[in-house]
C-alpha cells in the first residue's frame, strides 16, 4: 500500500504583504501563520511526516513554539528562489526516505484554513487515481483581461475554469520527474508541472475558506475564520 507524506514550501518572504518578517511567521490568532497548515496535516492519521522546506538561513523555525503541531514536522533547510525550486529541493532532500509510488501532498504555508473535511476528500478521491489531483473551486466571478495598463481588453469565459488550491497530491516519483523536466521558473504549482508531462490531474472540490493569505486583508479574513472555528469547538 502506498504511504502518505506532506510537504510545505515555506521559504518565501511574502513581499506583497509588506511585513517585516517572512509571511509564514506572521501572527494569526496567537500563532504563526505556518502553524495552522502544519497542525492540520500533522493531525491526519494517514500522513506519516510533514516536511517543511525552509530558507537555508531561516532562524525562526527552531525558535518558534510549535506546540500541538510539531509531532510530525521535519524541517528541511533547502528552500529555493521560487516555490517550484523549494518543492524540488525538498523532494531531492527526502529521496532516500520515500518510495516511487508514495503520495506526496504539497500545501501552501499561507493557507491556514484548510479543513479536515477537504483534506479527507482529497485523499479519498485521489488515492486511487492514476495521475493525482488537487483541491480547486469553480470560478464564480466574471473574468477580465487587462492590457497591462489597467484597462479591460477582453472578457474571458469562466465556464470550465477552476481556481487551484492546495494541497496538491501526486506520486513522489511522478512529481519529481515533472519538476525536474519542466524547470523551476516556468510553473506556479505542482499540477502545472504534471500537466507538462501530458497528464490530467483530477479536480477535487475545495472550499472558499481555504484561502491563500497574500494581502493584509486576507490575513484579517483568515483570522476571523480561525477564531470562529475555535468558538464552535467550545
User: Could you give the CA distance from residue 31 to residue 69 in angstroms, rounded to a whole number?
Assistant: 11
User: Could you give the CA distance from residue 11 to residue 83 in angstroms, rounded to a whole number?
Assistant: 8
* Separation in Å, CA 51 to CA 74, 114, 133, 208: 5, 17, 19, 25
Domain that holds residue 35: 4-233
pLDDT of residue 1: 82
The cell for 207 is 472550499
Q: Which of the residue ranges 48-62, 109-123, 171-185 would you say has the lowest mean pLDDT?
A: 171-185
Residues 14-60: tens digit of each pLDDT: 665 656 689 999 999 999 999 999 999 999 999 999 999 999 999 99
User: Could you give the CA distance from residue 179 to residue 36 in angstroms, rounded to a whole number?
Assistant: 26
Predicted TM-score (pTM) above 0.85: yes
Q: Look at the chain and report how many structural domains it folds into.
A: 1
Query: Looking at the predicted structure, is the pLDDT value of residue 202 above 70?
Result: yes
Specify the higher pLDDT residue, 14 or 150: 150
pLDDT of residue 35: 96
Q: What is the CATH number of the domain that holds 188?
A: 3.90.550.10
What average pLDDT is seen over the chain?
A: 93
pLDDT of residue 163: 97
Amino acid at each position: 500500500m502506498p504511504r502518505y507524506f506532506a510537504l510545505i514550501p515555506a521559504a518565501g518572504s511574502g513581499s506583497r504583504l509588506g511585513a517585516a518578517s517572512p509571511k509564514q511567521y506572521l501572527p494569526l490568532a496567537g500563532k504563526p501563520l505556518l502553524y495552522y497548515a502544519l497542525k492540520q496535516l500533522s493531525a491526519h492519521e494517514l500522513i506519516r511526516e510533514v516536511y517543511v522546506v525552509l530558507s537555508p538561513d531561516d532562524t525562526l523555525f527552531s525558535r518558534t513554539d510549535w506546540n500541538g503541531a510539531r509531532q510530525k514536522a521535519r524541517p528541511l533547510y533547502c528552500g529555493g528562489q521560487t516555490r517550484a525550486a523549494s518543492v524540488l529541493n525538498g523532494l531531492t532532500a527526502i529521496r532516500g526516505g520515500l518510495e516511487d509510488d508514495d503520495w506526496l501532498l504539497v500545501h501552501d504555508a499561507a493557507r491556514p484554513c484548510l479543513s479536515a473535511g477537504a483534506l479527507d476528500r482529497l485523499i479519498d478521491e485521489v488515492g486511487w487515481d492514476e495521475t493525482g489531483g488537487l483541491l480547486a473551486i469553480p470560478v464564480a466571478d466574471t473574468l477580465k483581461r487587462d492590457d497591462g495598463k489597467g484597462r479591460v481588453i477582453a472578457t474571458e469565459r469562466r465556464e470550465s475554469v477552476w481556481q487551484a488550491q492546495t494541497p496538491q497530491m501526486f506520486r513522489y516519483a511522478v512529481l519529481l520527474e515533472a519538476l525536474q523536466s519542466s524547470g523551476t521558473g516556468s510553473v506556479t504549482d505542482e499540477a502545472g508541472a504534471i500537466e507538462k508531462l501530458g497528464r490530467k490531474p483530477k479536480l477535487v472540490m475545495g472550499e472558499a475558506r481555504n484561502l491563500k493569505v497574500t494581502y493584509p486583508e486576507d490575513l484579517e479574513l483568515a483570522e476571523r475564520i480561525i477564531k470562529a472555528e475555535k468558538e464552535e469547538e467550545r
